[in-house]
């Protein structure tokens, strides 16, 4: 598996896929930089007057609802519908699912366009599956990832999507009833805003060039987790960690990647 | 006072308050990271369809008018009104007060909902109190902080708010007629965008968990100022200073904090 | 020429011009920090209710269409018209020209207000001149800069603007039929989002204080390129490069600048 995942990382650099992002204001700079660092080409656009044209030229799409409003929601729905129609792979990042009824309503509408991959923390995945067993505290998870596995399986069955429940261990599930665990990452990453959003953007880059969407998701999560682990050793806090992760995403070697890789099949 | 202020800093880490931010596009990433670094939980949301729900779950609220427009102003007014009704503490950052009539008009409307704390530079405080004695140059102060003290006292008397006039020396005033001076900070901080905005966000975090709003404001201003002073020693310019301040907010020790603390009662 | 360009850099620090920016969400933080680092005063505002007032107090204006939408386009048009009427120098950054018909339509409208300087990559300049000989891939150039020279000359003739075609070598043309080549910069800069946007903002700062708009454009491009070259030596990837460039823009010495300067007259 090491060889395959590393090859996937190289594929991005070779093919430089164009990733169209509708994402939140907080993380746009860091998301664009992370995509550039791994070799992808980011575009950020949201105007209703051009959004279809942008999706048309994109190799994959990310929709992150973090700072949604009524206008952006219209753009998100056009984007999801267009991606679905064109068979362009797309990632849904359900930031803050469960925090407000509005978010949950919009998410149900977006799900109709069958995201290729959904990445969220355990709280968000539970809310997305309309499990009423948790309370979201902001955008952080207050339940353990494995509590959300049943919710994820429901979503997989209903929408045929790949799900990544991110947390200390990331759990990846698909409609072939496979489960993978990615144990890479470092706890200080939770003190950098938008690490989850970055993960979702990287997944979009990987599903743009890799046919196997489960392996693509694993590669993205492992790459970011390993970049975080290695970077933390050179960081004195979350500020330098944010910077160092970009450097490591750009410069990571095969030896570094495979030396840290900690992925298990369930 | 050292012991009290340090304990306040520890309270944020223990209680991890949820801070709802309506702030400007320029500083959102850095603001979220600063809140995470001190141990708070940031949320950024502005949709009229959910803003009341967000304020409902927040422990404190920040309203920063930096990149306001007609839609965001409606959200700001709903947010301020909701916070006022729920008795949720909130901070007003009147970015660019005095620069345009539109800003001044909106600020007068926001004041009706009686912010718990207002933090601005001297120009902004003067404009907010409708003193016509200065001209704002962009978002930087062109008058000395102490010239704004009379304006601040007017605001304190009228709205019962705590005021922080930030500058080389921060001046904090309250309705008990107390005045405090925070002399921490470094001039290079003025070359990093959004340091004032970060200060306001940190005040929101402190007033979320500390009953004494004046002490909370002092703790926030002293913490950021000290983080700036200590970080500047390891920085080669404003780029590394921005990064290092996040690291220091995260990792500052009691010895470092108390060794630098420079707060006086007026 | 070294002496003149260095003097121009010093002029910004002395005069601290107020630069009004309508720019994209992705780069706002970095743009504001770059302007502060060179000694300018940035303002970011876009509300139709105040945009004329903001242009009124600005020494120069930047319009960058990166994340345009219907509302922002109205603000951009008011801003361009106001700057044109007031004879305030302004820079147009046609991000993603050629990517969608909407962008191209808006750009033609903006051109009517005769930008003082236009900076774009070769693809964008070709699209702006309505040359149908290229396809834009996202916001990156897919044609060589010198292929765009004829397109730039058409724009110069039609609008009397200074044009900077940025790339490995930046090509600067004006209506006096002069051509300059700025060969500074480093390829890793293409892995940092918004370096082109930063260049355009710095041009706005220079044209605010320098009468000769061609020399002002050269000074801005050379400064950013040299800051990039020098910073790359101390960077381990694009994350640290972004940070180090801000430090170098702030702290660059005359010896460093002139030692690297690589500008030719065509």
Residue A171 burial (CB < 10 Å; 0-12/13-18/19+)? buried
Using the beta-carbon criterion (under 8 Å), do C193 and A33 form an inter-chain contact?
Answer: yes
A-C C-beta contacts closer than 8 Å = 102
Query: Which residues, listed in sequence order, are joined to residue A250 by a DSSP beta bridge?
Result: none
pLDDT, residue A266, reads 87
In whole angstroms, give the CA distance from residue A202 to residue A196.
Answer: 10
The answer to whether residue A144 scores a pLDDT higher than 70 is: no
User: Mean pLDDT over residues A148-176, rounded?
Assistant: 96
pLDDT tens-place string over residues C142-155: 456 667 999 999 99
**What is the mean pLDDT of the segment spanning A123-130?**
93
The interface residues of chain B toward chain C in range 95-154, judged by CB-CB distance below 8 A, are: 96, 99-103, 137-140
d(CA C78, CA C83): 9
Among A22, A33, A67, the strongest candidate for a mutation testing the C interface, having the largest count of C CBs within 10 A, is A33
pLDDT range class, residue A6, cuts 50, 70, 90: very high
Please indicate if any CB of chain A lies within 8 Å of the CB of C253: no
C47, C53, C251 member nearest B68 (Cβ)? C47
Low-confidence stretches of chain C (pLDDT beneath 50) = 134-142
User: How many angstroms separate the CA atoms of A250 and A239, rounded?
Assistant: 18
pLDDT-derived band at A138 (thresholds 50, 70, 90) equals very low
Pairing of strands A179-182, A263-265: antiparallel
Give the pTM. 0.96
Q: Which of C170, C173, C151, C148 minimizes the C-alpha distance to C162?
A: C173
**DSSP string for C151-193:** HHHHHHHHH--EEEEESSSEEEE-TTS-EEEE----GGGGGST
User: Which pLDDT value is given to residue B144?
Assistant: 60
Q: How far apart, in whole angstroms, are the C-alpha atoms of residue C34 and residue B116?
A: 34
Q: CB-side exposure of B202: number of CA atoms within 13 Å?
A: 30
Query: Helices A2-15 & A195-209, crossing angle to 10 degrees?
Result: 80
Q: Which residue in C30, C68, C96 is closest to A29 by CB distance? A: C30
Q: Residue-wise over B94-132: b if at least 16 C-beta within 10 A, else e?
A: bbbbbbbebbbebbeebbebebbbbbbbbbbbbbbbebe
Which residue stretches of chain B have pLDDT < 50? 134-140, 142
* Residue count of chain C: 266
> What was the pLDDT predicted at B1?
78
Q: In terms of Cα–Cα distance, which of B260, B245, B236 is closest to B201? A: B245
Residue in B66, B103, B239 closest to C245 by CB: B239
Measure the CA–CA gap between A236 and B246, rounded to whole angstroms: 9
How many whole angstroms separate alpha carbon C186 and alpha carbon C182?
12
Interface confidence, given as ipTM, is 0.94
CA dihedral A54, A55, A58, A62 (to 10 degrees): 110
Residue A72 has pLDDT above 70, yes or no: yes
> Residue B3: what pLDDT?
85
């Amino acid at each position: 598996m090491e060889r395959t995942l590393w090859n996937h990382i190289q594929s991005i650099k070779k093919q430089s896929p164009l990733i169209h992002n509708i994402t939140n204001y907080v993380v746009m700079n860091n998301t664009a930089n992370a995509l550039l660092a791994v070799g992808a080409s980011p575009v950020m656009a949201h105007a209703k007057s051009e959004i279809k044209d942008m999706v048309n030229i994109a190799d994959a799409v990310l929709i992150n609802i973090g700072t949604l409003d009524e206008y952006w929601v219209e753009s998100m729905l056009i984007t999801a519908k267009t991606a679905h129609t064109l068979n362009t792979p797309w990632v849904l990042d359900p930031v803050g699912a469960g925090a407000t009824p509005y978010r949950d309503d919009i998410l149900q509408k977006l799900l109709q366009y069958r995201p290729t991959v959904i990445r969220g923390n355990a709280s968000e995945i539970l809310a997305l599956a309309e499990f009423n067993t948790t309370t979201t505290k902001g955008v952080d998870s207050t339940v353990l990832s494995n509590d959300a596995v049943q919710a994820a399986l429901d979503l997989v069955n209903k929408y045929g999507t790949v799900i990544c429940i991110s947390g200390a261990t990331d759990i990846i599930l698909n409609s072939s009833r496979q489960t993978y665990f990615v144990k890479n990452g470092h706890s200080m990453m939770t003190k950098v805003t938008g690490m989850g959003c970055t993960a979702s953007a990287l997944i979009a880059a990987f599903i743009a060039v890799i046919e196997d969407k489960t392996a693509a998701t694993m590669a993205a999560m492992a790459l970011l987790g390993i970049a975080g682990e290695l970077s933390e050793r050179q960081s004195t806090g979350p500020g330098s960690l944010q910077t160092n992760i970009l450097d490591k995403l750009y410069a990571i070697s095969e030896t570094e990647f495979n030396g840290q890789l900690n992925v298990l099949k369930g």
